[in-house]
Amino acid sequence: MTRPFRFGVNLLDPAPADEWRAKCRRAEELGYDVILVPDHLGLPAPFPALVAAAQATERPRVGTFVLNAGFWNPALLAREVATTDALTGGRLELGLGTGYVRAEHETAGLPYGSPRERVDHLERTVAELDRLLGSDDHRPRPAQSRVPVLIGANGDRMLRLTARHADIAAFTGARPGDTPGTLDPLTAEELDERVARYRALAEHRAAPAELNLLIQLVAVADDPEPVLRPLLERQPGLPLKRAVALPIVLAGPLEDVVAKVRAQRDRYGFTYLTVLEPFMEAFAPVMARLREESA
């Protein structure tokens, strides 16, 4: 049975209390199911921002998309997770990743580590969170019996970790770029291979995970080129037609974008889509049309 669609928005811009609450309420009005925050220096601190989001809204769940495990000690993180879940009334979804911006670790005075070391730390973090939050002796206690875990992954070892532990398997649709801290988009065929690899690793699961894709650009317009221009400038040699075809890009007239979302659900299994804050309004008609069709 196909899961119903869910839609999340990743809020990126810090704001005073009234503005933060207002944009969280706007996300709820537009129909988003999950209000999310990332974990980067210079952006909102995740857990207080999520508590404020939950206080300002009634329906959406709240989550991290995704925590940089390298910033966190597992025992202290367990305390933050349990407290935030309790204060949000059991609405928390915990997104985890390895982190990919070396400069942020250097600014924070934290080791960055090799790719292997970063995955090792994430693996230890996931195991410790399972142990601590799964114990009746842990204080504070979360409101949920299990806080859903999302893991953002692309490489083989991360996909293996995701297959073992994640309730939500999140695909970035991109790989680290040549410039530190950047990501290069995957083609549809490359994403085919990554999703197939995950499915092979997840064959043992008693229940399938929800599959998520982070959408990087949304341009619901007859001419999406102005919105896609920054991507085209970062990717020399990428023609507009190929950019529109990338899985992480939703661009074109409304009916074309809606059709692409349905097609990617059928092709990859993505039923949970996350968009970035700059595209929160632009994506709203797509959500509305998809929900009309499934009503």
DSSP 68-129: EGGG--HHHHHHHHHHHHHHTTS-EEEEEE----HHHHHHHT-----HHHHHHHHHHHHHHH
pLDDT of residue 295: 67
pLDDT of residue 175: 81
Q: Report the DSSP beta bridge partners of residue 157.
A: none
pLDDT in tens, 113-160: 999 999 999 999 999 999 999 999 999 999 999 999 999 989 999 999
pLDDT of residue 247: 97
| Beta pairing class for 61-64 and 67-68 | unpaired
**pLDDT at residue 97 is higher than 70:** yes
**pLDDT at residue 167 is higher than 70:** yes
d(CA 66, CA 205): 23
225-241 mean pLDDT = 91
pLDDT in tens, 49-84: 999 999 999 999 999 999 999 999 999 999 999 999
Q: Tokens 């925050």 — which residue?
A: 37
**pLDDT at residue 182 is higher than 80:** no
**pLDDT at residue 162 is higher than 80:** yes
**pLDDT at residue 10 is higher than 80:** yes
Q: Which CATH class is domain 6-216+254-294?
A: alpha beta
**What burial class does residue 158 get, using C-beta atoms within 10 Å of its C-beta: 0-12 exposed, 13-18 middle, 19+ buried?**
buried
pLDDT of residue 294: 80
Question: pTM value?
Answer: 0.96
